Amino acid sequence: MYLAYDYPLLGAFWTMFWFFLWVLWFILLFRIITDIFRDKEMNGWGKAGWLVFVILLPFLGVLVYVIARGKNMGRREIAQAREQQREFDAYIRETASGDTRRSHAEELTKLSELRSRGEITDEEFARAKALILNDDPPSTSSGPTGTTPPAADR
C-alpha cells in the first residue's frame, strides 16, 4: 500500500526515460548489424571486425559505427529498398504475363486465324504482329480507355 509513496513521479519518469533509451539502443544495434551485412562494398574481414567491435563493446561500437559509417547507412537502405521494389515489379510483370514465348505464340496463332477468316487485313496483321514481337505499346488510341485493343481481341 505504501509502494506509491516510495516511488515518486520523477522516479517513474526517469525509469521510463532509461527504458526508452535502452529500447532505442537495441533498435539502433540491430539496424547497424543489418547495415553491416547489407554493405556490398565491405569485404568479409571488415564485416567481421565491425561485428566483433559492435558485439564486444556494444555502446562504444555503436557510437563509433554511427560516426564512421552512419552517413551512408540511409543511402544503403534506400538502395536496397529500390532494388527490392525493382525485383518485386519484375516478378509481378513476369507472373502476370505468364510465359512470354508461349503467349506470343498464342497471340500470333490467333492473329493468323483472324487473317485466314478475313476478319483482319494483311496490313492489320503485319502491324499487330510487329507489336507482339517488339513488345511495343500501340501508338494510337481508339478505345474508350485510351488504348488500342490488340487485333486478336477485335
pLDDT band at residue 147 using 50, 70 and 90 as cut-offs: very low
pLDDT band at 4 (very low <50, low <70, confident <90, very high): low
Has residue 20 got a pLDDT over 90?
A: yes
Q: What are phi and psi of 57, to 5 degrees?
A: -120, 75
**CA 81-84-89 angle, 5° bins:** 125
Of the candidates 122, 117, 118, 108, the residue with the CA atom closest to the CA atom of residue 150: 108
The burial of 154, by beta-carbon neighbours within 10 Å (0-12 exposed, 13-18 middle, 19 or more buried), is given as exposed
Task: Find the mean pLDDT for residues 94-111.
Answer: 75
SS3 readout for the chain = CCHHHHCCHHHHHHHHHHHHHHHHHHHHHHHHHHHHHHCCCCCHHHHHHHHHHHHHCHHHHHHHHHHHHHHHHHHHHHHHHHHHHHHHHHHHHHHHHCCHHHHHHHHHHHHHHHHHHCCCCHHHHHHHHHHHHHCCCCCCCCCCCCCCCCHHHC
What are the pLDDT digits (tens) for 80-99?
899 999 999 988 888 887 65
- Longest Cα–Cα distance of the chain, Å, equals 96
Residue 146's pLDDT band, with cuts at 50, 70 and 90, is: very low
- pTM beyond 0.75: the answer is no
**Which of 19-28, 56-65, 97-106 is least confident?**
97-106
